[in-house]
Amino acid sequence: MRRVIVALGDSTTAGTPLFQSPVEAPPDGAGDVRSQYAYWLMQARPDWHVLNCGVNRERSAQIAARFDRDVLANHPAAVVIIAGVNDVYEGRDADAVERELTAMYDRAARAGLPVIAGSILPYNTATPDANRRMHEINAWIAGGATRTPGLWFADTRGAAAAPDNPDRLAGSPDGLHPDIEGYRRMAEALAPVLAAIIG
Supply the pLDDT for residue 153.
Answer: 98
CA-derived radius of gyration, the chain: 15
Q: What percent of the chain has pLDDT over 90?
A: 99
Q: Band of the pLDDT at 131, cuts 50, 70, 90?
A: very high
**CA 80 – CA 21 distance, rounded (Å):** 15
| CATH number for the domain formed by residue range(s) 3-198 | 3.40.50.1110
Supply the pLDDT for residue 1.
Answer: 77
Beta bridge partners of 31: 19
Supply the pLDDT for residue 174.
Answer: 98
| Phi, psi of 115, rounded to the nearest 5 degrees | -115, 130
Average pLDDT over residues 78-100: 98
Measuring CA to CA, which residue among 193, 101, 98, 118 is closest to residue 160? 118
Strands 19-20 and 30-31, how do they pair? antiparallel
**CA 166 – CA 107 distance, rounded (Å):** 31
**CA 153 – CA 98 distance, rounded (Å):** 15
The yes-or-no verdict on residue 15 having pLDDT over 90 is yes
Average pLDDT over residues 144-172: 97
Cis preceding-peptide flag for 17 (omega within 30 of 0):
yes
96-118: burial string, b at 16+ Cβ within 10 Å, e else: bbbebbeebbebbeeeebbbbbb
Q: Band of the pLDDT at 150, cuts 50, 70, 90?
A: very high
Q: What percent of the chain has pLDDT over 70?
A: 100
Q: Band of the pLDDT at 173, cuts 50, 70, 90?
A: very high
Alpha helices, H only, 123-167: 128-147, 156-160
Average pLDDT over residues 186-192: 98
Average pLDDT over residues 23-36: 98
What is the pTM for the complete model shown? 0.97
